[in-house]
Amino acid sequence: MTQKEQIQKAKDLLISEGYHLTPYKPYCYWSVLDAEHMLEQMHSEGKFTDQVYTDDFGIAVLDLVERRFDAEYGVTWEHIESATEEILNTLKH
């Protein structure tokens, strides 16, 4: 088995075990896909419905989360939501 095939086999195993592999850089083990999910959730609650998600927006959210990262508390959905709201409120003004 080639090295490329071994890597693919390992990826397939991780996926079958419920791990999500993405081409995006992880931020404290979160990714821009989480920022996208948060914005979708906020849309479903009627918040910031005029904001369209882009990967650049997701990167900005996670860069803010990463700058404020405190290892004692970790990162939660509330941190993602707070950073999203802060950036969107800044864009409005």
Tell me the pLDDT tens digit for each residue of 12-61: 776 666 666 666 665 567 888 899 999 999 999 999 999 999 999 999 99
Strand ranges, E, within 18-73: none
Tokens standing for 36? 């996208």
pLDDT at position 24: 62
Q: Which residues lie below 8 Å from residue 9, measured CB to CB, with a gap of 6+?
A: 1
pLDDT, position 19: 62
Task: List b or e across 15-46, with b for residues whose CB sees 16 or more CB atoms inside 10 angstroms.
Answer: eeeeeeeeebeebeebbbebbbebbeebeeee
- Domain residue ranges of the chain, discontinuous segments joined by +: 22-92
pLDDT bracket for residue 79 (50, 70, 90): very high
Which pTM value belongs to this model? 0.68
The residues pairing with 32 across neighbouring beta strands, listed in sequence order, are none
**pLDDT, greater one: 75 or 87:** 87
